[in-house]
Amino acid sequence: MADADGTAKYFPKENFSNVCIATVDVIYPSSACTLLFNPALLRAQLQPVLDYARMSRWPWPFAPHDLGTYPARYRKTTHEFAEKWIGLASKADHYKLAFDQAGTWNQKYNLVWDKLLGLNLFPPEVARKEVACSKTRLNAYGLPLDNRKDYTKLDWAVWTATLADSPADFEALVAPAYQFANDSPSPVPLTDWYDTKSGKQQAFQARSVVGGLFIKMLADPVLWKRYAVRAVTAAAPNQNVAVREPSQKSDTIDVKSPREVR
């Protein structure tokens, strides 16, 4: 839909789990798809969330589930928090789920944005250690979400795999999930929550969060530029389009990388 001034507004529906619109934790994983194919759609999803968060009707210091925003932090503080997390969570071959529980582990899927956006808050060895450990914890149909259960989230599993530096490691982590999609005994539209041993659906189906599966394409400069150019060309067909690096200047319309969008 369009606002009074013509600004695009996009309110995604949270299928299956409930009927919320503009759910923050649905917009977040599906952003891998919208960033790749048409960043304008992501902006149209986020704008209503940000507008609502500024209204007096939401006086609380935290974000609501279905409309809200994340508080900004200074870079110095984020570096300090990252270093503190590394110190508290570090174990011999992985990083713990709970600081005070030695036997815990989990997927570090959110770490992928440190890589994609070039934030460099965490040293590369953090992701490398997690990828190496994750390869040892695979079940027949993928990597469990954490040590507590055998189920996983399909979108998060692909985000975790995207942390890998080598194609071989990425394939090793993704192949079981691909096999799940072929073998699952649950006859439903693609579920994002399933058991990694049986391949059976736990819950959820036909949700837009599966847009998160496209995140690997954001990590490939050739692919994201190809689709970004298409999106900009469609929006401004009579304009010249150029894909540039941050240091280059041009009079044409720029197609920015995920790092530049932030």
pLDDT at 218: 94
* Separation between Cα atoms, residue 134 and residue 193, nearest integer Å: 18
SS3 assignment for 154-194: HHHHHHHHCCCCCHHHHHHHHHHHHHHHHHCCCCCCCCCEE
pLDDT at 237: 66
DSSP H/E element including 201: strand 201-203
Q: What is the mean pLDDT of residues 217-244?
A: 76
Unique residue bearing structure tokens 């934030």? 119
Under the banding of pLDDT at 50, 70 and 90, the label for residue 254 is low
Percent of the chain with pLDDT over 70: 86
Joined together, the tokens standing for residue 1 give 């839909």
For residue 206, how many other CB atoms are within 10 A of its CB? Answer: 12
Q: Mean pLDDT of all residues in the chain?
A: 87
Unique residue bearing structure tokens 């799940």? 180
Sketch the domain layout of the chain as residue ranges. Answer: 92-216
Highest mean pLDDT (candidates 11-15, 140-144, 248-252): 140-144
pTM equals 0.72
Bridge partners (DSSP) listed for residue 153: 193
Q: Which residue has the higher pLDDT, 259 or 253?
A: 259
State which amino acid sits at residue 24: V
Q: Cβ contacts of residue 123 below 8 Å, gap of 6+?
A: 86
DSSP H/E element including 82: helix 75-89
pLDDT per position as a tens digit, 59-80: 887 776 776 334 466 788 889 9
Let me know: does 212 contact 32? Beta carbons within 8 Å: yes
pLDDT per position as a tens digit, 33-60: 999 999 999 999 988 888 888 889 888 8
